[in-house]
């Protein structure tokens, strides 16, 4: 069942983010993105990658499905794709949107060029996301940049690949170029879709309570093998920070 937000003891909160970004409250996405006249739903394309030497592959259609839960709330958002060189710099992976734009990014760094840029790139403005995913042959986990592994987020690949359990990340910040960036993804396709369901069923109706910049949520399947809404599958905030 859904764990009430107020009852959760979170880890690694109240820390300072990278010096060249500004951490924003997740609750501020309504103003900076959903109501913004300048917003993009920047989808990870399912064809056309890799682009140049950027080590990012094609996404799955479930990433697009997840994005629809967010894009449908944004009054003026335009849908664009990460393989479009007019939208994303093909040499660095950085979005080309101007300062003041709100960007919604979906899918992890293996399938989204802009997410890879914010998590992994050595180019100017890159590797600045508040948190990022890391892994080895056995496990996957989240790291708070400049701090270390986020307690409670380590999970074996066997759980991830089976769809029985998974991890979801939400983070919101102003990047080094003055753009407002929302990143949402799960470690697997199950959990990127789960991220949309948790946002729709829990975060958006209670948005004012989400006053930290980033959240890591664990999803546990109820045993039916489907990705279900909060209250059917179990969603628990494992950690958050500002």
- What sign results for the dihedral spanned by CA atoms 187, 157, 127, 143? positive
Phi then psi dihedrals of residue 74, to 5 deg: -95, 115
Q: What is the pLDDT of residue 12?
A: 31
> How does residue 178 score in pLDDT terms, banded at 50, 70 and 90?
very high
pLDDT number for residue 202: 97
Helix (H, G, I), strand (E, B) or coil at 105: strand
3-class state of residue 139 by DSSP: strand
Integer Cα distance of 121 and 129 in angstroms = 11
- For residue 90, is pLDDT > 70? yes
What's the pTM value of the predicted model, to 2 decimals?
0.91
Q: How far apart are the first and last CA of the chain?
A: 26
pLDDT of 10 > 70? The answer is no
pLDDT of 191 higher than 90: yes
Question: Is residue 229 within 8 Å of residue 204, measured between CB atoms?
Answer: no
Indicate the number of domains in the chain: 1
CB 180 within 8 A of CB 103: yes
pLDDT at 13: 30
Question: What pLDDT sits at residue 19?
Answer: 62
Q: Is the pLDDT of residue 3 over 50?
A: no
pLDDT digits (tens, 9 = 90+) for 141-163: 999 999 999 999 999 999 999 99
Structure confidence by residue, pLDDT tens digits, 99-131: 999 999 999 999 999 999 999 999 999 999 999
Q: Which domain holds residue 77?
A: 5-241
Question: What is the CB-side half-sphere exposure of residue 12 using CA atoms within 13 A?
Answer: 23
pLDDT of residue 18: 60
Per-residue confidence (pLDDT) for residue 49, from 0 to 100: 97
pLDDT of 179: 98
Cis peptide bond N-terminal to 50, omega within 30: yes
Q: What is the pLDDT at residue 84?
A: 98
Pick from 133, 86, 128: which is nearest to 107 by CA? 133
- pLDDT for 104: 98
Residue 94 has pLDDT above 90, yes or no: yes
- Among the residue ranges 6-10, 88-92, 215-219, the one predicted with the least confidence is 6-10
Q: pLDDT digit string (tens) for 12-65? A: 333 334 668 999 999 999 999 999 999 999 999 999 999 999 999 999 988 899
């Amino acid at each position: 069942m859904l764990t009430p937000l107020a009852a959760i003891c979170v880890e690694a909160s109240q820390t300072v983010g990278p010096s060249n970004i500004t951490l924003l409250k997740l609750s501020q996405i309504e103003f900076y993105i959903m109501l913004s006249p300048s917003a993009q739903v920047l989808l990870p394309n399912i064809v056309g990658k890799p682009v140049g030497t950027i080590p990012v592959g094609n996404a799955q259609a479930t990433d697009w499905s997840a994005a629809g839960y967010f894009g449908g709330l944004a009054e003026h958002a335009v849908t664009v794709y990460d393989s479009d060189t007019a939208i994303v710099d093909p040499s660095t992976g950085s979005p080309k949107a101007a300062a003041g734009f709100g960007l919604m990014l979906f899918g992890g760094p293996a399938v989204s060029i802009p997410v890879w840029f914010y998590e992994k790139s050595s180019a100017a403005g890159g590797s600045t996301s508040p948190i990022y995913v890391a892994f080895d042959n056995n496990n996957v986990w989240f790291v708070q940049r400049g701090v270390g592994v986020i307690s409670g987020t380590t999970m074996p690949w066997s759980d991830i690949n089976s769809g029985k359990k998974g991890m979801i990340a939400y983070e919101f910040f102003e990047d080094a170029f003055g753009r407002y960036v929302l990143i949402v993804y799960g470690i697997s396709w199950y959990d990127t879709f789960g991220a949309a369901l948790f946002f729709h069923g829990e975060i958006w109706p209670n948005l004012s309570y989400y006053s930290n910049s980033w959240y890591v949520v664990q999803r546990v399947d109820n045993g039916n093998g489907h990705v279900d809404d909060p209250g059917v599958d179990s969603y628990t905030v494992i950690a958050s920070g500002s």
